[in-house]
């Protein structure tokens, strides 16, 4: 399974937005640009307009079962008015899928791209890889791109924090014995 293809850009952007529901315009621009989204610069108002969408994306990652994820993602496809198109930006450029008209505003494009991204992941049988970090107090959404698909934490940092805490707990238990 190829998680770093353009198909998965939408799922990765969805995870980032779900984890950062009130980002700065600059940070959102950087993330969108890193996935080759065209005209990636939102206004502050456009960033705010995506706040409720980030919550809906988050619900997909947080949903406990495959069918629940699929129902939520399907509702996002409708809400984003996803209409796949094959577009190229000039002759000689590669054709690729867009999910709304190329001239649509940035919030509409981000909604459609992220809805399509999580839907593609589920269509690929990878819905269980759309997950929320297992460390209490983190709650970041992430796409598990590991080979076996069993990553519990959003980052090495969270994994280390939990491992250190577990280690200390075991030490305390050993001393108390
Ligand atoms: Zn394009
Ligand atoms: Zn985490």
What does the pLDDT profile of the chain (177 residues) look like in tens digits? 455 556 689 999 999 999 999 999 999 999 999 998 888 999 999 999 999 999 999 999 999 999 999 999 999 999 999 999 998 889 999 998 889 987 899 999 999 999 999 999 999 999 999 999 999 999 999 999 998 889 999 999 999 999 999 999 999 988 877
- How far, in whole angstroms, is CA 103 from its chain's centroid? 23
Which listed ligand is nearest to 138 at the C-alpha?
Answer: 2
Strand partners, 98: 85
- The tokens for 36 are 């080759």
Ligand 1 midpoint to CA 104 (Å): 12
Which listed ligand is nearest to 36 at the C-alpha?
Answer: 1
Asked whether the CA dihedral 102, 106, 108, 113 is positive or negative, the reply is positive
pTM of this structure: 0.90
Query: Is the separation of the CB atoms in 158 and 138 below 8 Å?
Result: yes
**Cα–Cα distance for residue pair 53/72, rounded to 1 Å:** 12
Nearest one of 136, 135, 80 to 110, comparing CA atoms: 80
Ligand 1 midpoint to CA 173 (Å): 56
Which listed ligand is nearest to 139 at the C-alpha?
Answer: 2
**Dihedral pair phi/psi, residue 49, rounded to 5°:** -60, -25
């Amino acid at each position: 399974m190829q998680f770093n293809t353009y198909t998965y850009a939408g799922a990765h952007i969805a995870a980032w937005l779900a984890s950062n529901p009130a980002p700065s315009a600059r940070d959102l621009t950087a993330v969108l640009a890193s996935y080759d989204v065209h005209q990636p610069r939102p206004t502050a108002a456009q960033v705010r307009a995506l706040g409720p969408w980030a919550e809906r994306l988050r619900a997909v990652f947080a949903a406990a079962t495959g069918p629940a994820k699929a129902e939520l993602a399907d509702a996002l496809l409708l809400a984003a008015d996803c209409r796949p198109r094959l577009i190229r930006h000039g002759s000689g450029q590669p054709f690729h899928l867009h999910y709304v008209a190329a001239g649509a505003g940035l919030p509409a494009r981000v909604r459609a791209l992220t809805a399509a991204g999580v839907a593609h992941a589920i269509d690929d049988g990878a819905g269980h890889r759309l997950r929320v970090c297992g460390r209490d107090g983190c709650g970041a959404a992430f796409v598990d791109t590991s080979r076996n698909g069993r990553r519990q934490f959003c980052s090495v940092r969270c994994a280390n924090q939990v491992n250190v805490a577990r280690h200390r707990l075991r030490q305390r238990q050993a001393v108390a014995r």
